[in-house]
Chains A and B, each alone.
Chain A
Amino acid sequence: MGPFLLVTIQIDLYDRLALNLEADLVQKVHQTGARGVLIDISAVSIVDSFMGRILGNIASMTRVLDAETVVVGMQPAVAITLIELGLSLKGVHTALDVERGMALLQTKLDLDYEMADDDADDIE
């Protein structure tokens, strides 16, 4: 998987599982020295504030380890609900699907070589 890790969440997670995911993923990034993490949530039907917080945590934690996190494939209903809930996943990059997520990570890596930090694509 080159410099990127891909995680596909296929079931609705309860809290303990989500926390495990967070811990495992951060471990994995450290072990592999991955420069990017893709989290595919296209099969997830509910993202509540807890799950949203986990996604945000993963993004911040991996960033400290010099890897960017992209959440891909969010369902329209989930996006609308998150906005209404008041959660816009600040600091988490998003993409429509895995392919585009990869492309986004690749451009971020390329940019890294060219210039210093650029967070222009961050979600507000």
Chain B
Amino acid sequence: MLMTLSKDSMSITREQDLVPFRNRVKEAAVKIGMGIVNQTKLITAASELVRNMFRYAGGGEVLIEIVSKGRESGVRLTFADKGPGIANLDLAMQDGYSTGKSLGLGLPGAKRLVNEFDLKSTVGQGTTVMILKWKNG
């Protein structure tokens, strides 16, 4: 059973929000005693997703949660935007694919850095990405 222990949300509207957002994620990770390597992985994945949200949808909302399951605790982030959505999810998850001018590592790279990754998108309505990193994951 997954339980939510704390909830916090933040809206991303400007590029400058990136650094404070990273700090919020770090706070949550430090709170549960996550090690430095996992912290870095989580924040880097979050950074990729926030950048995507900003680039393709002009911003959105991020939900920062501390969750627990059995004796494990973790940080779950949900990125929701009302952008154009992703037409081809399989292609978007491929290394090196990008419709914008980037390295195309954002989505597949972020997925490799976390323990759970869930992507939902409807063309014309928006995209929601959930990532979860366990403390010892």
Contact call B112/A86, Cβ cutoff below 8 A: yes
Contact call B40/A45, Cβ cutoff below 8 A: yes
Classify the interface of chain A: helix, strand, loop or mixed: helix
Q: Residues of A within 8 Å of B, CB-based: how many?
A: 23
B-contacting residues of A (Cβ < 8 Å)? 11-12, 14-16, 45-50, 52-53, 75-78, 80-81, 84-87
Q: How far is it, in angstroms, between the C-alpha of A16 and the C-alpha of B51 when the chains are bound?
A: 12
Q: Which of B71-100 contact A (CB under 8 A)?
A: 95
Contact call B40/A53, Cβ cutoff below 8 A: no
Closest to A53 in B: B103
Contact call A50/B39, Cβ cutoff below 8 A: no
Q: How far is it, in angstroms, between the C-alpha of A85 and the C-alpha of B46 when the chains are bound?
A: 12
30 A-B residue pairs with Cβ-Cβ distance under 8 Å, sorted by A, are A12-B22, A14-B18, A15-B18, A45-B43, A46-B44, A46-B47, A48-B44, A48-B48, A48-B51, A49-B48, A49-B103, A49-B105, A50-B47, A50-B102, A53-B103, A75-B40, A76-B37, A77-B40, A77-B41, A80-B40, A81-B113, A84-B109, A85-B48, A85-B109, A85-B110, A85-B113, A86-B108, A86-B112, A87-B103, A87-B105
